Amino acid sequence: MVTRQLSEDEVSRIFQALADATRRDILARVLREEQSVTSLAEAYAMSFAAVQKHVAVLTRAGLTQKRRQGREQLVQADNATIQRATRLLESYEQLWRERTARIDDLLADDDNTTTPTTRADAGEQ
């Protein structure tokens, strides 16, 4: 299966959306199951309009999708975008693991090198 990579703008929108704790919580809820904006709003001490705005930010970032069912707006996670973002984070994690391993190797090499001992080092004068 060929998957499309995220553009820089998409990455920025995703991480800006995830920078807010309420939006992360909303995303966690809709990852478990599709929910109406009304039921999401009941979970927070903020107005319906505020929750609706949070959902809109998540939707613009591609992390959620909305659909109408009668008078309700239902929100579900967009698994494809979340998987692409996960792969991006995994690539960053791999990069930093490799860099950390190289630093560890350099430090180990530094510890293994012996320096000649001088009389002053040996306490002789």
User: What value does the mean pLDDT take over residues 38-50?
Assistant: 96
Per-residue pLDDT tens digits for 55-99: 999 999 999 999 999 999 999 999 999 998 898 889 889 989 999
In angstroms, the CA 15 to CA 24 distance is 10
For each of the domains in the chain, give its residue range(s) and CATH number, in order of start: 1-109 (1.10.10.10)
pTM (two decimals): 0.74
CA 90 to chain centre: 9
CA distances from 56 to 7, 8, 37, 67, 100 (A): 20, 20, 10, 12, 38
Nearest to 55 by CA among 70, 69, 38: 38
